[in-house]
Structure 1
Amino acid sequence: MTTAAPISTRALDHPARVEIRLEGVLHALSDPMRLRVVRQLAGCEPGLDGLSCSQIDLPVTKSTSTHHFRVLRESGVIQQIYRGTAKLNGLRRDDLDALFPGLLDTILTAATAQAERTSAP
């Protein structure tokens, strides 16, 4: 008899949609590393649960990476869920688009143009 891997009961705190504040989102997106995370998550295929932290390559220490993910989660930009021992990250696009129509797309477009202009990932 085979048993499935247990689903983690660990839950992370996320702000409810009504608690997401524009200044928090803008602060979270003002850091180049956090913007890099959001750009990678925005490029994920629809229907995926997200990317694990280890799938997102950041040129920083693990503790700094953890800090960036926490700022993004606490501001309401991303959602994190545990799948086994992996923490999956997904963009809260529906919430952000409902609260701040066009903001995320505008920022992603500008970030892509800047990356192309400066040849930065």
Structure 2
Amino acid sequence: MSEETRLTLPIAQMALENDKFRKVVWTGEKTQLVVMAIPEGEDIGAETHEGHDQLLYFVAGSGRAEIGSETYEVQEGDVSIVPSGVYHNFINTGSGMLKLYTTYCPPEHAPGTEHADKSEDV
């Protein structure tokens, strides 16, 4: 059974094992689950999602979350909430990869999307 069809997943472990910038794990009609790995000194990229809420769950590393006009330090065990229409960026400020999983509601990316690194996210 593929990850796309399984309905219970060891998502924290999957995020820890992931080395791709972005990998869509599951896509439903109203929600999408994605794992991400952000290299040292890099970021996800400043953006605003209109019509999409996003939750980011950090499983390894440390970084800085810029959400709206606020800045927060993030680390393993934290979750960041990005409401629809709010500017955001996440920067790896630690050593090693910043690893996380995130949900988009509704889905943001095509099912099965994989980006080895940020340069593929165009």
Which structure features the higher share of helix residues? Answer: 1
TM-score (norm 1): 0.28
TM-score normalised to structure 2 length = 0.28
Higher relative contact order (CA 8 A, sep 6+): 2
Say which one has the larger Rg. 1
